[in-house]
Amino acid sequence: MTNRREWLGSLGVAAAGGLAMTGFGTGMNALAVDVANNPAANVGDRTSTIKITKLTATPVMRKVFLKLETNHGVTGWGEIDQLEPNVAAMLARSLFELIDGENPTRIEHLWQKIYRSHRDMRGGPVMTQTLAGIDMALWDITGKLWGVPVYRLLGGPTRNKVRFYPTPNATKVGCGPQPFSGTPQQIESMVKQVEDARKRVGPTGIVMFDAHCAMPPPFLIQFATAIKPYDVLYIEEPAVPGNMEVFKRLKQHISIPLAVGEQARTIWDVIGYLHEGCADILQVDCAHTGGITQLRKIATLGEAYHVPIAPHCVTTDLGATASLHCSAAVPFFLIHEYYPSISPPGLVKKNWSIDKDGYASLPEGVGLCCEVDEPKLLELAKQPIVPEWPTRGRMPDGSIADY
């Protein structure tokens, strides 16, 4: 007599083959099927044997390219952005100990394992931005294993194309550090930037203004009062994160929508802005928040408050594509940032493009739908790395300002 699992498995084969069981005797004949070759008796996850075997972190210019390898020969790529590259690469190599031998398709589990690995390193840019690169690579592997683009794993596309900027129809202007309160000339200079941008894109185009956390509240209020509320889509980074009372004060005095979140790393950083009503748009960054896993959660959290995402993005085509997958799949989305010039020519091959109206097509292929030219990567890695220490934070008197 066969055991219960074998018997149920045999029933599966009988059903799959269209065998009609007219009675107990006929059903018993089905038990004669070779259980070892019975598909219905071997229903384990086909990726359950896959394991992560290697991580390679390659600093290139001001980025770090991560490659995850597996025992099945499937690889995944991710990008670490806006950290000191050598430090980020070393941290990624160290964190590999936590995922070595793990199943890469357990993305959420591995995200939590890394994020909560050290009680005194939880959150913060160094940990979370490094984790973002690993997370992208995990999604890339998983998409390749299932033979679909990542946005299919996220529930499928909620739109047919994704609006990007800068384009001829959408542009952003901004400023560096400003004094505590502005003179007429200083305010007029800021207003002139907006006026010139509006002329370039016309009345149907989009203009955004980036304050870069560099305009103290009195100056920003003066500027926002000097332009019409509809002149810009939003004011980005209106203040330095850390004091919610400052954001509440700005929201009380400024009628223009405020975009926040470029320096918010997780859902826990974002919730305060939403709860206090200080965010009209979440311009979070996939490479800052911990990757696709966390960006999707932030988008869902914003949706609950009727606040869309407008992802900040200054990565190469690799990181930008990871962010595009998430933007394609979430329902509440506004516009996406992207600068093609950041990618070294020939390093990353992407399978999407931007049309004349400024909309990106959905990525085609599997996983992240990107290919990295490894010989080119190794060639670029030989070049000296110039740290991204901002030099625009010095005031006329020599003091250091926020930026």
Reply yes or no on whether the pLDDT at 23 is more than 70: no
Q: What is the model's pLDDT at position 124?
A: 85
Q: What is the structure's pLDDT at 386?
A: 83
What pLDDT is attached to residue 187?
94
- What are the extents of the domains in the chain? 52-152, 156-375
**The pLDDT of residue 194 is above 70:** yes
As a whole number, the mean pLDDT across the chain is 89
pLDDT tens by residue, 239-285 = 999 899 999 999 999 999 999 999 998 999 999 999 999 999 999 99
Residue 46 is predicted with a pLDDT of 56
Can you give the pLDDT at residue 231?
Answer: 92
Residue 136: both structure tokens together: 């992208």
pLDDT mean over 324-343: 98
Tell me what pLDDT residue 305 has.
Answer: 98
pLDDT at residue 13 above 60? Answer: no
pLDDT at 52 over 90: yes
CB neighbour list of residue 389: distance below 8 Å, 6 or more residues apart: none
In this predicted structure, the answer to whether residue 164 has a pLDDT above a threshold of 70 is: yes
pLDDT tens-digit profile of 373-388?
999 999 999 999 887 7
pLDDT band at 22 (very low <50, low <70, confident <90, very high): very low
Name the pLDDT band for 294 (thresholds 50, 70, 90). very high
- Residue 33 is predicted with a pLDDT of 45
Flag whether pLDDT at 19 surpasses 50.
no
Q: Which H/E stretch holds residue 81?
A: strand 76-81
Residue 252: how many other CB atoms lie within 10 Å = 9
The pLDDT value recorded for residue 347 is: 98
Per-residue model confidence (pLDDT) at position 1: 42
pLDDT of 3 > 60? The answer is no
pLDDT of residue 152 exceeding 90: yes
Q: Which two tokens stand for residue 191?
A: 């207003």
What is the per-residue pLDDT across 92-149, written as a single tens digit (0 to 9) for each? 999 999 999 999 999 999 999 999 988 888 888 999 999 999 999 999 999 999 999 9
**What average pLDDT does this structure show over 75-88?**
96
**CATH fold label, 52-152:** Enolase-like; domain 1 (3.30.390)
Overall average pLDDT of the 178-206 stretch: 94
pLDDT of residue 120: 82
Q: Torsions phi, psi of 310, nearest 5?
A: -135, 80
As a whole-number percent, the residues of the chain with pLDDT over 70 amount to 88
Q: Quick one: pLDDT band at residue 34, thresholds 50, 70, 90?
A: low
**Binning pLDDT at 50, 70 and 90, where does residue 403 land?**
confident
3-class secondary-structure state, position 10: helix
The pLDDT of residue 392: 75
- pTM score of the predicted model: 0.87
- Whole-number pLDDT of residue 303: 98
Q: Is the pLDDT of residue 173 over 70?
A: yes
Q: CATH classification of 156-375 is 3.20.20.120, yes or no?
A: yes
